[in-house]
Structure 1
Amino acid sequence: MKRARLVFVATALLGLAAGGAASTAAPTPEAMNGPDAQVASAVKVPPGNKLVGKFYAKGVQTYTCTTGAWKLLEPAATLADRLGRAVALHTRGPIWVSTVDGSAVEAAPVDGARNEIAGAVPELLLKTKSTRGSGVFAGISYVQRLATKGGVAPAGGCTEGTQTSVHYEALYTFSAPAR
């Protein structure tokens, strides 16, 4: 019961931080399935890996003003399954933590593995640095951030030390070595 409440509260807070009410509506089929056939070659998972999870994220990209420019501080997003149920949280690291089984994966962007999207944070390919637990994120080798919407830092200058959060959405896929 406490875990379910924590997930609900985290989902609600992230929704409010993004400037609106929290939504538990299921993502559209296009958001969950569409990008597979259209993944840019720069962000494709290497051969020898298989897709093991696909979740739709809503949250914020938080930026801080450093030396007069906006720099990414951290993401904060809730990942949902096909039915719109919260299943993971995405935080600084970047790290994804399952709210179902506590497993986690930390990854880092692969150099040059990005696809620029107009008006949105880029699509990325990330390689796993470490995993924790034996649940859904155990054995993950790659993470993709696809079908991005929003999340871009504000244009122009800023006041040193200020922060701003910008709503974003993305489709995250998780792959593991094919056996």
Structure 2
Amino acid sequence: MNTKATRSPTLTRFLPMAGALATATLLSACGSMASPGHRMYSQADVPAAVQVPVGHKVAMETEGVGEITYECRDKADAMGQMEWFFVGPKAVLNDRTGKAVGSYYGPPATWESMDGSKLTGAQVAVAPAGMGNIPYQLVKANPAMGAGAMTGVTYIQRVALKGGAAPAAACSTANKGERQIVKYQADYIFWKAA
């Protein structure tokens, strides 16, 4: 009995093409999973107050994942009242594939690339981003220190916010000086002159 399988010449030519097609389909499916739900950034998705002026283009999109520290302190210009005071942020900046490309920390608010270039800036505007979230923000960048990814950045937008608002816990004279850390996530969009 002959146990050797026989294949027609047509089938023999078709199998390598079918394998290549299956591989391409699989790679395409995996590629679309690399950044689930990501679409090109559009200023139309943010309030007008925090939109970057015309004449600029997106240079880099990052996602900041980290925490904000608050401290229970006397409220400025309000004798006898207390408030949660924003002490500073600490976050990792990731690119759209999830790879760490820099960090964000302060004070002063500083965005630093892994290549060593960094910048600070002055807040231009904010807009509410929903309950429990820190606000949208537009920052005018100061000239970058060091050469690299931050060189030439003119504006930074904080968008796509999740969390980070001041703690809901009571802040009173009984817990004056107490610090609380709040987790947050936000996209930082870096702009350069077009």
TM-score, normalised relative to structure 2 = 0.72
The superposition leaves residues 91-125 of structure 1 with CA deviations (integer Å, 9 ceiling, x where unpaired) of: 011101111x1000111211xx2120122000000
Distance 1:132 1:122, change over 3 A: same
> How do 1:14-53 and structure 2 match up within 5 A?
28-30=36-38, 33=40, 36-53=43-60
Distance 1:76 1:84, change over 3 A: same
The one-letter amino acid of 1:76's match is: K
Match of 2:161 among 143, 148, 158: 148
Per the alignment, in what secondary structure is the counterpart of residue 62 of structure 2?
A: strand
Alignment pair present for 1:94 and 2:109: yes
> How do 1:97-112 and structure 2 match up within 5 A?
97-99=112-114, 101-110=115-124
Q: Distance in 2 between matches of 1:153 and 1:86?
A: 26
Per the alignment, in what secondary structure is the counterpart of residue 141 of structure 1?
A: strand
Alignment pair present for 1:120 and 2:133: yes
Shift in Å, 1:157: 1.8
Task: Quote the residue 2:85 is aligned against.
Answer: 71
Distance 1:168 1:55, change over 3 A: same
CA-atom RMSD, angstroms? 1.8
The one-letter amino acid of 2:69's match is: T
Q: Distance in 1 between matches of 2:88 and 2:133?
A: 16
Per the alignment, in what secondary structure is the counterpart of residue 120 of structure 1?
A: coil
Gaps of 5+ in 1: 1-25
TM-score, normalised relative to structure 1 = 0.78
Q: Distance in 2 between matches of 1:173 and 1:83?
A: 15
Comparing both structures, which one devotes a greater share of its residues to strand? 1
Alignment pair present for 1:133 and 2:140: no
Per the alignment, in what secondary structure is the counterpart of residue 93 of structure 2?
A: strand
The one-letter amino acid of 1:121's match is: I
